[in-house]
Amino acid sequence: MNRRSSWAASTLRAGIACAAFACVYVQPALAGNARWTSNGPFGGRVDSAVPGTGQPNVFYATAHRSVYRSNDGGNTWVAATAGLATVSAGAGVVVPHPTLPGRLLLAGARGVFATQDSGRSWLRKDVGLPTTTTSFRTVDIAYAPSDPTRVFLATADAGLFRSVDGGSTWSPAGGSTLPNKLDRLAVDPNDPLKILVWVLERDTSSFSASLYKSINGGASFSPITGPWNSGGPTTEPVSLLAYNPNIPGTVFVSNVFGNYRSTDGGASFLQSVSLPVGPTQRMQSLDVHPSATNNIVFGSSNGVLFSPDNGASFAPRNNGLSVTVGDPASIGPIIVDPANPSRWIAFSVSGEVFVTNNAGTNWSVIGAGLRGTRIETVAVHPTRPQRVYAGLRNLRTEATSAALYLSDDFGQNWLRTNANLGLDTVNAIVFDPVTASSPATTRMFALGADFAPLGALPNSFRGGIFRSSDGGVSWAVADNLIPLPETGPAAIGEVNTMLIDPLSAEGGLSQVIYFGANGRVACLGNSPQLEVPRIWRSSNGSISWTPRDTLPLGGCQPRLMYPQPVAMVFQSGSATTLYAGTRLSGYCFSCNDPVPTLANGVFKSTNSGLEWTSASAGLPLMSSTGSVQNINSLIAIPGQPNNLFAALSDPTKPDEPGRVYKTINGGASWVPADNGIANVRVRVLRVEPANPGRVYAGAAGSDTSPGGVYFTDNGGTSWLSISIGLPLDSAQSLAVSVPVSGSPTVHAGTDEGVWSLTRVPDADIDGPSDADENLAPNSGDGNADGTPDRLQTDVATITIADVNPGAAKGGSGSTTISNIDLRKAGSSCQQIFDATSVDPELLPEDPGYLPNAGLIRFEFINCTTAQVLATFHAETFGPDWVFRRFGPATSGNALTLQWLGMGNGAIRNGRSFLLTVTDNGPGDLRQESGRILFVGGPVQEQPLFNNGFE
């Protein structure tokens, strides 16, 4: 679904449509123009990947919240997500029907989805599942290969379910013989009644094993005793539980406890011979040669392994699969191409997609279009605006994938820039401004953490800071004198933020640098003790560091909680006054912890960090009575001493939106400053370089409240949305490229890569550009009221492409302009936002209807009821046309997302429809009060079974 934006496009997509508050002009999606677009970095966390049954060169993969399909053997990918509501990040497991091409099932967090058209459209298949339980989460799904009518579904806390009708309906399985908390399952390829299930509740009085087996189709299960059952934690997931379909009875189980193989169907297991890297290397996936029955290819925590003898021995196949020499990528899913068994595709756990055409002799990177990279930070070089850096957050506790990428063309192409960069997660990129005049010699810092692989000793792994003196080409450790690892990642933990004082420059380098990290606090009895400081200072350009931590130490009841700095800023014009924004570490909402009352929020130092005092008066409290809410972002406004903005959220109410506050007196008092973005959770704030009056905010979102990017030009008095095209859950980082001439480009780091948007004139900030609105009839006055549409905040012109070429349409043109005119049923509804066309392919099909005139999207803020006159100037509507909208039948409930009729809420008169839209009424895609998000359009009724419709 296309999102919102007040930035305009530069070229057309061959179509125009007009409605009485918006005229729609569709343009080709060029990166950075009019709407947010993305060109990578591609790859990221892929949780499952499979070849299409009977579909040569077709592969499917799940990444983040989406399913992707490749039609060219994995080289390029496109999203296949229409209808996939409520799929959570990292939750998707896709499986193909064993015999029917184009049919797949997806286990996706809140339920099960099915497609019969290769992912064009997905439908929920939840009959019999407890999907209304908010904690319900699916974790694995499998067909019985020898009887595809049987499907099994593992859940996180509701036990096992089975279907005997191919996944249409479900019933509980296992009963009292199986725990509720499950991890993975596997079905014997040759016997649909034999199922293996790994559980997450062993060493309890009722369930003493981790692996269970059924021989009666899931009616009951018996425990399997294995060598992994002695000692260790009670809840340990597996990285691999799979049969070799070519050799009956062969099963593999693997994780931190080791790698094991059974040759008797799971009745007994023996530990596999030492893998090449050693006992810490674990197998994470497998695929088999279609005809050489003993040949298995494994994805492992240290690259790819090949076994020519059914898992009796292993050989590494990692040439070209490394981020750095000797450090192979950790591989999740792996595919052996059924049409070419020498061609393998390997998906690293948080980075790139690799391919080999010679059975692993060498590898190269592919995967364009596969958007699963979680971008934790984006940064723009201070003097080279086209150079953009993207730092990734590893979504698992270990990774050996590239963590930093560089683009030198505003995000159109990306390259690794990781030479000697020992970080798996990059939280921030910071430039030394006194070195920025020459990009080739710019000194910069990467902040984050290096995670030890599961089961490995952490001695050689460190979090912290790396430094580059050549603009990011190569890196070296910059925190040598900070305490080294003891019991986990580096003792300072993840480094989150850094400040560089350019006024301290000597010898061409800034000397005074601060950083904030998680640090470490421990409890001695009930008293918290600082073991590793959280804030550090260097006076010699990062050669050595001294602590500057007098922040509060938190408390020890009911568990250790203490504030950790996540953002630091200098007061504008000062080198000695600085602020730190903190989050309260340790609080556990799911554990029913009481509301914390510990010190948290914004702290201020006026003596270079030697002493810190609270500067949080007026900031909102957790549950209104507890600690100051967690700080997500903190910025100071250049040239305006004492002016700061803070974005906050409440961990005691994780489903509630956050707030933005502002201080004009150095933190002595704070007031709300989020009119226009209230009711969404802002994760990042950013000031536009060279224009300190403009502040951007990136907000999180969900299926029924999409995230977005907002900006203010008036000090936070009001905010305007610029969000067309962004992913649902954007954004978590922002940066701005300001060229010498031309408009700035905003870059947003999301869970689906870097997205960019270049500002072009849009005087009324309604989404379409001035140039697009000038294309409306009557010389740009689509509603014929005497005022150009581009000057009216309650009128927008949207361009719509010919969505169904060759179909019978009322108009003769290949495109249509929709002019949308806001009829002010509510006095507060003065501004339309993010009016745009919507590609019907991005939404599920609406059986019985065809969107032959195109679909539109628009949003209101601070509005409860509005009337909208949508006029499609190039169309002639007959009696078989009605207006439909897509949204939740029940407000805020993503499980009820569907196509809905509008009844009397859409009255047609010639080429126009008078729409009545109501806040939180059926179909409103914004669950927050006072915000209305509409997606829909005129559709032509189709006779049942027309054109082969089933």
pLDDT over 50 (residue 10): no
For residues 167 and 634, give the distance between their C-alpha atoms in angstroms, rounded to a whole number: 48
Task: Find the radius of gyration of the CA atoms of the chain.
Answer: 28
Q: Is-contact 833 58, C-beta < 8 A?
A: no
Tokens at 139, concatenated = 């974790």
Query: Per residue in 816-870, pLDDT tens?
Result: 677 777 766 666 788 899 999 998 988 988 999 999 999 999 999 888 898 999 9
Token pair 């995000």 is at which residue?
A: 411
Any idea which residue has 């990528």 for tokens? 329
How far apart are the two ends of the chain, measured CA to CA in Å? Answer: 25
Give pTM, 2 decimals.
0.91
Give the separation between CA 535 and CA 522, rounded to whole angstroms.
16
Residues in Cβ contact with 675 at an 8 Å cutoff, skipping those fewer than 6 apart? 716, 717, 718, 719, 862
Tell me the HSE value of 322 on the side-chain side, using a 13 A CA sphere. 11
- Whole-number percent of the chain with pLDDT over 70: 89
CB 343 within 8 A of CB 357: yes
d(C-alpha 424, C-alpha 232), whole Å: 26
For 190-240, what is each residue's pLDDT tens digit? Answer: 999 999 999 987 766 678 888 999 999 999 999 998 877 766 556 778 899
Q: What is the pLDDT of residue 827?
A: 67
Pairing of strands 708-712, 578-585: unpaired
CA distance 110 to 897: 13
Alpha-carbon span 866 to 889, nearest angstrom: 19
| Local confidence band at 400 (pLDDT 50, 70, 90 cut-offs) | low
Distance separating alpha carbons of residues 117 and 458, to the nearest angstrom: 47
The answer to whether residue 413 scores a pLDDT higher than 90 is yes
Q: pLDDT tens-digit profile of 428-457?
A: 999 999 999 999 999 999 999 877 655 555
Contact of 468 with 420, CB cutoff 8 Å: no
Instruction: Calculate the average pLDDT of the chain.
Output: 87
Task: Give the DSSP letter of residue 764.
Answer: T
